[in-house]
Chains A and B, each alone.
Chain A
Amino acid sequence: MPGISRRQVLGSATAAALALALTACGGSGSSPSGVDKDGVVTISVNGMPAKTQAVDRANFLEDVKVFEKSHPKIRIDAREGQMDPKTFAAKLAGGQLEDVYYVYFTDPAGLIQRRQAADISKYVGEVPFFEDIDPALMKVFKDAGGRTYGLPTGNYSLGLLYNRALFTKAGLDPAKPPVTWEEVRTAAKKISALGDGTVGYADYSKNNQGGWHLTSWIYSMGGDVATRQDGRWKAAFDSEAGHKALQALHDMRWTDKSMGTRQLLEIADVQKMMGSGKLGMYMAGPDNIPTIVKQFEREYAEYGLAALPGTATLGGGDGFMFNPKASPEKIKAGLQWVQWKYLRSPEREAVDSKRAKAAGVPIGLPQPRLLAGEAQAEIDKIHDQYANTPVENYQPFIERNAQVETKVEPPNAQQLYTILDGVMQSVLTKKDADIDALLAEAAKKADVVLASVK
């Protein structure tokens, strides 16, 4: 009987499905410059808050609308998420990386070295307030030749976050937090003496976060982690400062027993301890406060922030960089978005602060401070006007932080942090840890890592 057999129908259907699947892999129809026939350029940007952060997301989307209205030739294709090292390379390889993407200060050096970010030097001159951006922050986004690859949009320096209620309970004055490591040690002892699983001071030692904090410890003791000698980078933490930092940690952990028994902690563990009211102090930037308050439903009044003891602290932050394959039109549009949204004019800052206060978004934290001079002074005034957090609790940080030098992360930071993680772990998990031997061994490893820094 003539006609189509079931086998043929199935065969044809399979072939059609395959053909469809293969054609679906093809590229989109947009032009490479991203500009349509009406001269409107569409840029994809990430950094949109997740649906779970309803208020932040609504504010972000409202900003997109306002921006598009005031910039009719730019369309924003907003995407969730930030720069995730786990997906970054795959997105770049597959052409899915956003035109404007979020980075932490640890990323730009490597991204620039691997040419995974566009050189935007030609375009930054047109960015309003560009000259006012703190030069120390701009340095993070520049290469050795002075070319610019991104803009900072947030910054922090590590201080000492503490639980005011536990301070009071332990007989300490929450308005006068420790200013030396000796005082930290004494306070930690008193807080852990409260018992019931209360920990005086906690620190990280896992997933490179131990190395990150140990770097700050060493800075605070007047030392360095890596230095440049005759054009070559060398490990510098096998020093008196390195020894003092580890000895202090060792003493708090083993002699005073004020660091609790559980170690190999990372940021989420320590924030949880702080959020549950069982931790007295830990090293943190101001941005940790809203995270803890939101995540563990606490009150801002419960927490205080002091500057890090010692002479220096580690600073970091975040910003935006540009897809190396983005067209000049997209880069120019992206710069306008980043400046408008994050490096705000005082007028925009006033609008944002008013809205943020109404929505309960924290205003009045001592950082970020992105600009220098007059522009920042004006923004500070606006923040003071709309503050909805207990700014007096951050006074110890503001007063002393200016005297503490903020130092950036060392080159090949993540690799060094891996090595220093091991040192931190040994000191916090082995009572008889040989600090000098640990430092010497780690320095040997670090020299190998630093040898590849150009």
Chain B
Amino acid sequence: MSAQPLSAAAEKSTEEDPLPSPRPPAGTRAGAAAGNSRFRRAVRENLAAYLFLAAGVLCFALFSWYPIVRGVLLGFQQVTFAEPARWVGLDNFRRLFDDPLFLTAWQNTGYFTLLALVLGFAAPFATAVVLNELRHGRPYLRMTVYLPVMLPPIVTMLLWRQFYDPGPGLFNTVLETLRLPAQQWLESENLAMVSLVLVSTWANMGTTTLIYLAALGGIPGELYEAAELDGASIRQRLWHVTIPQMRFILMITLLLQVIGTMQVFVEPFVLTGGGPDDATVTVLLLLYRYAFVYNDFGLASAMSTLLFVVLGLFSVVYLRLTRSKG
């Protein structure tokens, strides 16, 4: 494919100046003048584009970048909003480390992420592969899988709270029908986190499944045909064709999954409030308490800065690993 001119300006410049003079040396008056006039011409000719760009940049700066920078700064300040913020250095971070729940929150978040990877990463992939193999009813099932995503999170949580009810809840009714012992889904320290992961997986797997389905649709059919001709079984086709072809999309969803699950909040907030006995206190739930229960925005910002750094580090390490393997 031949290279295309990048802009109207580039196109025009080649038309008007078929033999461009050598570029004047930088720093000379002539060079500066030529540079200035080229810059002015480029600005003039693309004014509307720059204005549109400026609007976007301004919105990002105002609503995304500024809050991030301000958030990091708040982590080093004592903030009341009634008076000017006071710099306290690393005090907020020291107080964080003194909080007995700090470590618990990180451990719980790590545990949730791990469980969510085991369940939440495999489930949509398996569902997508099964859906892709179906001959009939695929659109209907695809919509069914996506349906939970369309429910408002609070509705999902309340629905699942009914399912988990240790008395007449759906799950315990099913267990009792099967003559199995009823469980304390949300009230047991061992089961509470698993129960939250189940809700989260159910509620979010629709989007990932659709991404996988799209990726599966992009795998050339000839590869499967060749594999079938070679006598490959379903498992072998999955292992040698599907997974290698989807490696990139799997890596991206894994990264997004880790970043998403480490920010788990709604599930423990609505279903367990962090209990029983702090077994489901997550980083974001603790951060919420700092900010909106204790009104300590310095502490909350320090916590969010730490989370930001951890996720940032993870992303960098992960991207480097995948690049070197790629």
- Interface of A with B (CB < 8 Å)? 7-8, 10-11, 14-15, 17-18, 85-86, 88-89, 92-93, 110, 114-116, 197, 205-208, 260-264, 266, 324-325, 414-415, 418, 421-422, 425-426, 428-430, 444-445, 448
Contact = CB atoms under 8 A, between A and B. Distances in A.
27 contacts: A8-B48, A10-B52, A11-B48, A14-B51, A14-B55, A18-B55, A85-B292, A89-B295, A89-B297, A114-B80, A114-B295, A115-B80, A116-B80, A116-B82, A206-B275, A208-B293, A261-B184, A264-B187, A418-B289, A418-B293, A422-B275, A425-B277, A426-B276, A429-B184, A429-B187, A429-B189, A445-B100
A173 B186 CA distance: 36
Contacts of B82: 92, 114-116, 324-325
Given A14-B55, A418-B293, 17 more contacts: A8-B48, A85-B295, A114-B82, A114-B295, A206-B272, A260-B167, A261-B166, A262-B165, A262-B166, A264-B271, A418-B101, A421-B274, A425-B276, A425-B277, A426-B276, A428-B187, A430-B276
A208 B99 CA distance: 17
A208 B275 CA distance: 11
A425 B184 CA distance: 13
- Secondary structure of the B contact surface, majority rule: loop
Nearest to B58: A18
Contact of B99 (A15, A85, A414, A448): A448
User: Which 9 A-B residue pairings sit nearest by Cβ, starting from the closest?
Assistant: A206-B273, A11-B48, A425-B275, A93-B81, A429-B187, A261-B166, A429-B276, A114-B80, A425-B276
Contacts of B297: 89
A92 B48 contact: no
B255 to A, nearest CB: 31
B278 interface: yes
B195 to A, nearest CB: 11
A426 B277 contact: yes
B295 A88 contact: yes
B163 to A, nearest CB: 12
B15 interface: no
B272 A264 contact: yes
B60 interface: no
Contacts of A422: 275, 277-278
A425 B69 CA distance: 38
B275 A414 contact: no
B277 A429 contact: yes
B188 interface: yes
Given A262-B165, A264-B272, A429-B275, A11 B189 contact: no
A261 B295 contact: no
B83 interface: yes
Contacts of A208: 293
Contacts of B189: 429-430
A18 B52 CA distance: 10
Contacts of B35: none
Contacts of B272: 206, 264
B107 to A, nearest CB: 15
A393 B248 CA distance: 69
Contacts of A264: 186-187, 271-273, 275-276
A262 B276 contact: no
Contact of B273 (A115, A207, A445): A207
Contacts of A14: 48, 51-52, 55
Nearest to A204: B273
Contacts of B52: 10-11, 14
B65 interface: no
Nearest to A423: B277
Contacts of A10: 48, 52
A418 B274 CA distance: 9
Contact of B277 (A11, A18, A85, A430): A430
Interface string B276-290: 111000000000010
Interface residues of B, number: 40
Given A89-B295, A110-B295, A421 B80 contact: no
B6 to A, nearest CB: 18
Interface in B41-67: 47-48, 51-52, 54-55, 58
B168 A197 contact: yes
Nearest to A95: B81
A206 B79 CA distance: 28
A263 B47 contact: no
Contacts of B294: 110, 414-415
Contacts of B230: none
A148 to B, nearest CB: 17
Interface in B153-205: 165-168, 184, 186-189
A16 B55 CA distance: 11
A445 B99 CA distance: 8
Contacts of A261: 166-167, 184
A7 B47 contact: yes
B266 to A, nearest CB: 13
B98 interface: yes
Contacts of B58: 18
Nearest to B83: A115
Contacts of B80: 114-116
Contacts of B187: 262-264, 428-429
Interface string B290-305: 0111110100000000
A132 B48 CA distance: 69
A93 B74 CA distance: 13
A11 B51 contact: yes
A86 B158 CA distance: 22
A421 B275 contact: yes
Nearest to B269: A207
A231 to B, nearest CB: 21
A8 B46 CA distance: 10
Q: Which of B82, B100, B101, B289 has the most CB of A within 10 A?
A: B82
B276 to A, nearest CB: 4
Contacts of A429: 184, 187-189, 275-277
Contact of B100 (A114, A197, A425, A448): A448
B243 to A, nearest CB: 41
Q: Which of A115, A421, A445 has the most CB of B within 10 A?
A: A421
Contacts of B295: 85, 88-89, 110, 114
Contacts of A92: 81-82
Nearest to B271: A264
B168 to A, nearest CB: 7
A86 B277 CA distance: 25
Interface string B94-127: 0000111100000000000000000000000000
Q: Which of B186, B272, B295, B297 has the most CB of A within 10 A?
A: B295
Contacts of B99: 448
